[in-house]
Amino acid sequence: MQTAEEIKKMVRSTYGQIAEQSYATNATSCCGAGSCSTESFMLAGEDYAAMPGYVAEADLGLGCGIPTAFTALQPGERVLDLGSGAGNDVFIARRGVGPGGQVIGVDMTAAMIEKARANNHKLGYQNVEFRLGEIDHLPVESGQVDVIVSNCVLNLVPDKKRAFTEMFRVLAPGGRFVISDIVLEGQIPSGLEKAAEMYAGCISGAAQKADYLNYIADAGFQDVLILKEKDIVLPQEILETYLNDQELTAFRTSGVGIRSVTVSARKPGGEASEQSPDSACCGGGCC
C-alpha cells in the first residue's frame, strides 16, 4: 500500500506532465492521467466554454463539474481555488468578484503554478495570485477567504479529513464552499485501486460517498447540499487495461457506483449569503 507521500509524489509527477498537454489530449484520456484510449471521450469533464470569464488557455479539461457555476459570487469577495491547475476556475471566479475582490489559486504541482502565472501575466489581473502548496496544509491564513471552489481534486488528497479541516480553518465565519469531486458507492476492484494512472485520473483515490459527506460534517460545516450528481461510466477499453475477464464481469454486475458530485456547505457564523449556491444553478435540470 502506498504511503501518503508516495501518492503525492506520483500525483505531482503525473500532473507535471499533464500541465504540458493540451485540452484535447487531457479530455480524451483518463481524466488527464494518460492517453488510454484511441477513441475520443471525456470521463467526467464538462464544457466550461460558455462560462463568463472563461480563458481557453487555462482549461486543461481535468474537471468533473463546474463548481463556479453554483457559487453565486459577489463583487469584492475573496475566493480560494484548491488544485487550481492552469487557472481555469480562478479566472472565472475573478470575473465574479470583480477588480475589488481577490482570488487565490493553490496547487501542489510547480509546473501548474508556472503555467497559471503565465496565463495571468497575459491577462494582467492584479488581484489574482497562485501559490504552491498542498490542500491538507494550505498556505493561507485562517479566516481569510469567503468562498472556496475546487474541481476534481480532493479525490487526489490522501488525507481528505484533514483537507476539509483546513478548508474550515481558512474560511471566514459564514464562508462557503462549492466542490465538484468523484465519490464511490461500493468497493471498486483491487486492480483499479492499485493503478497509479486511475488514481491520478480521479477514480481509485475517491472516497465512499457517505464517508465524504461525513468528513464535511465532522469538520464543522453546516447546510451540506448535493447540488448536482451524475454517474461516470468507465469505457470497456479502460477496464480491460486493469481487469481480467472475470473481474470485469463481476464489476459490471456489482452495482458499484462511480459518481461526480457537486457539493456545497457553509461555515457557521457571520451572515449567510443572500443568494444560496443552489440558486445559481446553471439550468437545464442540472440541479
Per-residue pLDDT of the chain (287 residues; tens, 9 = 90+): 567 676 666 666 566 666 666 555 544 444 444 444 333 234 556 789 899 999 999 988 878 899 999 999 999 999 999 999 999 999 999 999 999 999 999 999 999 999 999 999 999 999 999 999 999 999 999 999 999 999 989 988 889 999 999 999 999 999 999 999 999 898 887 777 666 556 555 676 788 999 999 999 999 999 999 999 998 877 777 778 888 888 888 888 888 888 899 999 999 998 654 444 444 443 333 33
pLDDT score for 43: 54
Q: In the chain, what are the domain boundaries? A: 4-269
Asked: is 4-269 a CATH 3.40.50.150 domain? The reply is yes
Burial 82-111 (b: 16+ CB within 10 A, else e): bbbbbbbbbbbbbbbbeeebbbbbbbbbeb
User: What is the per-residue pLDDT for 177?
Assistant: 98
The DSSP annotation for 18-78 comes to HTTS-HHHHHTSSTTS----SS---SS----TTSTT--GGG--S--SS-GGGGS---TT-E
Residue type, 251: F
Angle at 110 between CA 108 and CA 111, to 5 degrees: 120
Output the pLDDT for position 139. 97
Give every CB contact of residue 25 below 8 A, 6+ residues apart in sequence. 32, 35
